[in-house]
């Protein structure tokens, strides 16, 4: 798949895809004419990247775990494990948000929201 299609299917810009390739987040073969050729897995991979990013990971961190995965024979299994870790992280974040919410509820109810807690 060429860059335009990948960009469209992931909602990223071509420049962003090129940027991701430069930073090692993504690898592409090259067609004889020099055009990038992405495998179909690039689409879900980029979705994963966006997920991890939303969870607060930097692109560098994501690239690192991606590199570990790359070429591993049990890549699917490892990625499943990664996803399970992300799920645990989501549970943590959710708990943090719940705590924050409780704090805000309390502050909103009190007459003095900025009082030191």
Residues at the interface with a copy of itself (CB under 8 A): 40-41, 43-45, 47-48, 51, 54-55, 76, 79-81, 83-84, 86-87, 90-91, 93-94, 97-98, 100-101, 104-105, 107-109, 111-117
* 3 state SS of 59: helix
Nearer to DNA, 54 or 105 (CB): 54
Q: Please answer whether residues 62 and 26 qualify as being in contact, where contact means their C-beta atoms are separated by less than 8 angstroms.
A: no
Please state the closest distance from residue 116 (CB atom) to DNA, in A. 19
Tokens matching residue 31: 């067609």
Please state the closest distance from residue 34 (CB atom) to DNA, in A. 5
Number of other CB atoms surrounding residue 113 within 10 Å: 10
Nearer to DNA, 15 or 77 (CB): 15
Nearer to a copy of itself, 61 or 81 (CB): 81
Q: Measuring CA to CA, which residue among 53, 41, 42, 63 is closest to residue 86? A: 53
Nearer to a copy of itself, 33 or 53 (CB): 53
Q: Please answer whether residues 63 and 75 qualify as being in contact, where contact means their C-beta atoms are separated by less than 8 angstroms.
A: no
| 8-state DSSP, 36 | E
Contacts to DNA by CB under 7 A: 2-5, 12-16, 18-19, 31-36, 53, 58-60
């Amino acid at each position: 798949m060429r860059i335009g299609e990948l960009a469209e299917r992931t909602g990223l810009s071509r420049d962003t895809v090129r940027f991701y390739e430069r930073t090692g987040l993504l690898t592409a073969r090259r067609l004889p004419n020099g055009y990038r050729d992405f495998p179909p897995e690039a689409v879900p991979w980029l979705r994963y990247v966006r997920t991890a990013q939303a969870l607060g990971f930097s692109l560098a961190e994501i690239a690192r775990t991606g590199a570990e995965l790359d070429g591993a024979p049990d890549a699917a299994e490892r990625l499943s494990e990664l996803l399970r870790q992300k799920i645990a992280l989501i549970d943590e974040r959710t708990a943090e948000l719940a705590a924050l919410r409780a704090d805000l509820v309390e502050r909103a109810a009190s007459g003095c929201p900025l009082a030191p807690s």
